[in-house]
Amino acid sequence: MAKTIYEKIWDAHMVYEPDGQDSIVYIDRHYVHEVTSPQAFEGLRLAGRSVRRPELTFATMDHNIPTTNRALPIADILSRAQVETLKRNCEEFGVECFDMHDPRNGIVHVVGPELGLTLPGMTIVCGDSHTSTHGAFGALAHGIGTSEVEHVLATQTLLQKRSKTMEVRINGVIPPGVTAKDIILAVIGRIGTSGGTGHVIEYTGEAVRRLSMEARMTICNMSIEAGARAGLISPDETTFEYLEGRPLLPKNKTRDELVEEWKQWASDPGCAYDMVVELNAEEIEPQVTWGTSPEMVTGVKGHVPVPDEIEDPDKKLACVKALEYMGLEPGIPMESIPVDVVFIGSCTNGRMEDLREAAKVFRGHKKADPVQVLVVPGSRVVKKQAEAEGLDKIFLEAGCEWREPGCSMCLAMNDDRLKPGERCAATSNRNFEGRQGKGGRTHLVSPAMAAAAAVSGHFVDVRDWVYKEA
């Protein structure tokens, strides 16, 4: 029978499927970061347990670390303690850790793929909801809680029940100026933040096939914002090419052997999904969120909604509260909204292509005067490559700040945060109240849209941008 990639991976990782209970699923890769792991390691210690397969486990520090001078110790005592605790736990339990000073350090969901640790057909977990990112490689990847982190550390398995499957098919070709970020925001706008609950999404269709790996990661990354357990894209030539020569690929097989293995994971033609959603890529505009949930989104040529026109009482109330929090008048054009801060980075849009796109918009332009612009690469590898391509100069000349890698203002756990009332165009994934700092107002956009807003001082349609050559 024709199987979906989800069914193939699920079946291949079944350790034990007891009647009426959750199944025991084997985990091939476990990523760990400083925020959601200390209590898990402590639990192991208290129970006298060890990490079952430390060689399948990799840790990085990303959430708490400063994006300014790394030579200085972290000023915040609690952040420092958390980072040091991770380091100590990794040493004690024999887990490899890319600490703040390691050249491989960066955001966990940027680091895994770029090192070649994320591979097709794997099951991957991390105590972090954006683990869905790794699904871009055709790996079944999802976020787990700290108790489950402990469970995976101790047993290399996870208790799971089979999910339903949802195909999100993006037909056609995306127009110039429209990016993966706009596709996924449009999908979330369509199905809502709980639209994927209980499902694993597989993204298919011509537009998805044409996307690069980095763009696919952007899409899978935000599957969680659609409520899905995971997002997946079947592996293909684009996947295999991306993986070519990655430093931590398995060394016991030739490339051809690996590709043969990887190929088998793709969904079979004619497989069936529990639910199908279709979008036409040609109709997708650059997206901007206006509210405090990623589903509160519209095209850049659109307007802030008018609550009185919303019938559903819950949605109406949510809209009223969101507009109040966001300080927006109903009905105004999205392009009229000014920004104070622009944040380019995160595990959604902190990779090379994102920085290249943003740099292309900035080239030959200056940021608008009062706007603060933070450009934060997703990893040290990304930072180095961007500098080799001279992108840092373009950013600096445009008046942006070029920072050290980390999660930074995506969740504002370190010092990078909005002040109350500040309005930010962000390339990250969550516009929740206070996400980027208490009282801060977040609008989610693509890197190109963020750069264009930085130069213009308000949102503009990047499809009309006048690019300047160097």
Residues that bind ligand SF4 (CB under 6 A): 62-63, 107, 109, 128, 130, 346-347, 407, 410-411, 428-429
Q: Are 65 and 83 in contact (CB under 8 A)?
A: yes
**Residue 395 CB, nearest approach to ligand SF4 (Å):** 19
Q: Is 222 in the site for another protein (CB under 8 A)?
A: no
What tokens does 403 get?
């920072």
The residues in 171-200 that bind another protein, with binding defined as CB under 8 A, are: 193-194, 197-198
Chosen from ligand SF4, another protein, none, partner binding at 107 (C-beta under 5 to 8 Å by type): ligand SF4
Please enumerate in sequence order all residues whose Cβ is within 8 A of that of 359, keeping only pairs 6 or more positions apart, or say none.
391, 394, 395, 451
Residue from 4, 57, 67, 79 binding another protein (CB under 8 A): 79
Chosen from another protein, ligand SF4, none, partner binding at 22 (C-beta under 5 to 8 Å by type): another protein
Q: Is 248 in the site for another protein (CB under 8 A)?
A: yes
**Residue 432 CB, nearest approach to ligand SF4 (Å):** 11
**Residue 240 CB, nearest approach to another protein (Å):** 13
**Residue 66 CB, nearest approach to another protein (Å):** 13
Dihedral of CA atoms 223, 225, 227, 228 in degrees, nearest 10, equals: 10
Please enumerate in sequence order all residues whose Cβ is within 8 A of that of 59, keeping only pairs 6 or more positions apart, or say none.
31, 32, 33, 37, 86, 90, 95, 96, 97, 98
What tokens does 395 get?
């950013």
Chosen from another protein, ligand SF4, none, partner binding at 252 (C-beta under 5 to 8 Å by type): another protein
Residue from 4, 57, 60, 64 binding another protein (CB under 8 A): 64
C-alpha–C-alpha distance, residues 221 and 232, integer Å? 10
Q: Is 154 in the site for another protein (CB under 8 A)?
A: yes
Q: Is 315 in the site for another protein (CB under 8 A)?
A: yes
Backbone phi and psi for residue 232, each to the nearest 5 degrees, phi listed first: -140, 150
The residues in 1-20 that bind another protein, with binding defined as CB under 8 A, are: 12, 15-16, 20
Please enumerate in sequence order all residues whose Cβ is within 8 A of that of 52, keeping only pairs 6 or more positions apart, or say none.
153, 154, 155, 156
Residue from 21, 50, 264, 280 binding another protein (CB under 8 A): 21
Backbone phi and psi for residue 31, each to the nearest 5 degrees, phi listed first: -100, 145
H or E stretch at 193: none
Q: Is 256 in the site for another protein (CB under 8 A)?
A: no
**Residue 210 CB, nearest approach to another protein (Å):** 27
User: How many CA atoms, within 13 angstroms, populate the side-chain half-sphere of residue 249?
Assistant: 19
DSSP assigned state of 52: S
C-alpha–C-alpha distance, residues 85 and 41, integer Å? 10
Q: What number of helices (H) and strands (E) belong to the chain?
A: 16, 19
**Residue 94 CB, nearest approach to another protein (Å):** 14
Q: Are 319 and 291 in contact (CB under 8 A)?
A: yes
Chosen from ligand SF4, another protein, none, partner binding at 433 (C-beta under 5 to 8 Å by type): another protein
User: Among residues 225 and 295, whose Cβ is nearest to ligand SF4?
Assistant: 225
C-alpha–C-alpha distance, residues 284 and 307, integer Å? 24
Chosen from another protein, ligand SF4, none, partner binding at 16 (C-beta under 5 to 8 Å by type): another protein
Q: Is 75 in the site for another protein (CB under 8 A)?
A: no
C-alpha–C-alpha distance, residues 360 and 211, integer Å? 19
Q: Is 413 in the site for another protein (CB under 8 A)?
A: yes
CA-based nearest residue to 231, from 3, 2, 1, 4: 4
**Residue 456 CB, nearest approach to ligand SF4 (Å):** 25
User: Among residues 4 and 132, whose Cβ is nearest to ligand SF4?
Assistant: 132
Point out which span in 101-109, 118-126, 173-181, 364-372 binds another protein (CB under 8 A).
118-126
Chosen from ligand SF4, another protein, none, partner binding at 277 (C-beta under 5 to 8 Å by type): none
